[in-house]
Amino acid sequence: MPLSSSSSLPDSSSRHHTYSRKQKSLGVLCSNFLTLYNKDGVDLIGVERRRIYDIVNVLESVGVLTRRAKNRYTWKGFGAIPKALQDLKQEGFSSNFKTFDANSNAKISDEDDDDEDDDGSSNPITGSQTETSKPTCVLKSYTSSKIDNRREKSLGLLTQNFVKLFVCSNTELLSLDEAAKLLLGNAHNTSIMRTKVRRLYDIANVLSSMNLIEKTHTIDTRKPAFRWLGYGENSEKRAAAALALDESRKRAFGTDVTNMCSKRNKGDQICNDANRCMKMQRQIKVENMVTVAVADRSSCLEDSKQGPKSYQFGPFAPVNLANISNSENNVKRVHDWESLASTYRPQYHNQALSDLFSHYKEAWKSWYTEVAGKKPIQQIS
DNA sequence: TCATCCCGCCAGAAA
DNA sequence: TTTCTGGCGGGATGA
Residue A306 lies in a domain: no
Inside any domain, residue A337: no
- How far in angstroms lies nucleotide B7's C1' from the CA of residue A336? 40
β-bridge partners, A226: A174, A215
The pLDDT of residue A53 is 85
The nt closest to A192 (CA vs C1′) is C9
Confidence (pLDDT) at A216: 80
Residue A287 and residue A48 in contact, taking contact as beta carbons nearer than 8 Å: yes
Taking a C-beta distance cutoff of 8 angstroms, is the pair A324, A372 a contact?
Answer: yes
CA proximity to A253, closest of A236, A228, A231: A228
Cα(A31)–Cα(A38) distance, rounded to whole angstroms?
12
Q: Can you give the distance from the CA of residue A50 to the C1' of nucleotide B11 in angstroms? A: 15
Angle at A356 between CA A354 and CA A361, to 5 degrees: 95
Domain assignment present for A370: no
**Cα dihedral sign, A91-A97-A101-A104:** negative
A353 touches strand B (CB under 7 A): no
Strand B positions closer than 7 A to protein CB: 3-9, 12-15
Q: Which residue is nearest to nucleotide C12 (CA to C1')?
A: A21
pLDDT at A192: 80
CB A30 within 8 A of CB A252: no
Report CA(A204)–C1'(C5) in Å, whole number. 21
Look up residue A96 and give its amino acid.
N
| Torsion angle of C-alpha atoms A346, A350, A352, A356, degrees rounded to 10 | 0
In this prediction, residue A37 carries a pLDDT of: 34
Task: Say how far A252 CA is from B10 C1', in Å.
Answer: 32
Does a structural domain hold residue A293?
Answer: no
Q: How many domains does chain A have?
A: 1
Q: Which residues of A269-282 are buried (b: 16+ CB within 10 A; e: fewer)?
A: bebebebbbbbbbb
Say how far apart CA A336 and CA A329 lie, in whole Å. 10
3-class state of residue A49 by DSSP: helix
Q: Which residue's alpha carbon is at the shortest distance from the C1' of C13?
A: A21
Do the Cβ atoms of A221 and A76 come closer than 8 Å?
no
Q: CA(A216)–C1'(B1) in Å? A: 21
CA distances from A160 to A31, A76, A96 (A): 20, 17, 13
**Which of A41, A47, A38, A45 minimizes the C-alpha distance to A281?**
A38
User: Phi first, then psi: what are they for A311, rounded to 5°?
Assistant: -120, 135
| Structural domain includes residue A291 | no
Note down the domain range covering A213: 11-279
Phi (first) and psi of residue A308, to 5 degrees:
-55, -30
Residue A174 parent element (H or E): strand A173-175
| Domain assignment present for A330 | no
Which nucleotide does the CA of A265 lie closest to, via C1'? C14
- Mind listing the pLDDT tens digit of every residue in chain A (381 residues)? 555 443 333 333 333 345 666 677 787 778 777 664 334 443 344 456 788 888 888 888 888 888 888 778 888 888 888 888 888 888 888 755 543 333 333 333 333 333 334 333 333 333 333 334 444 444 444 334 444 566 777 888 888 888 888 888 877 888 877 888 777 665 667 778 888 888 888 898 888 888 888 888 777 767 778 888 876 545 444 444 433 433 333 333 433 333 333 333 333 333 333 333 333 333 333 333 334 333 333 343 344 444 333 333 333 333 333 333 333 344 344 344 444 444 344 444 444 445 555 555 565 565 555 555 544 433 322
How long is the CA A74 to C1' C2 vector, in angstroms? 25
> What letter represents residue A168's amino acid?
C
Residue nearest to nucleotide C9 (CA to C1'): A195
Distance CA A185, CA A121 (A): 6
Distance A176 CA to B6 C1' (A): 20
The CA distance from A210 to A255, in Å, is 9
CB count in 10 Å sphere of residue A185:
28
Closest protein residue to C10 using CA and C1' atoms?
A195
Instruction: Please state whether strand B lies within 7 Å of residue A253 at its CB atom.
Output: yes
Q: How far apart are CA A192 and CA A185, in angstroms?
A: 9
**In a domain? residue A131:** yes
Residue nearest to nucleotide C5 (CA to C1'): A53
Separation CA A365–CA A89 (nearest Å): 33
Q: What pLDDT score does A334 carry?
A: 39
- Alpha-carbon distance of A27 to A252, in angstroms, equals 10
A194 touches strand B (CB under 7 A): yes
What does the pLDDT read at residue A78?
A: 82
Q: Is residue A164 part of a domain?
A: yes
Q: Note the CA–C1' distance, A353 to B15, in angstroms.
A: 26
CB-based contacts with strand C under 7 Å? A 3-5, 19-22, 49-50, 53-54, 56-57, 67, 70-72, 150-151, 153-156, 191-192, 194-195, 198-199, 262-266
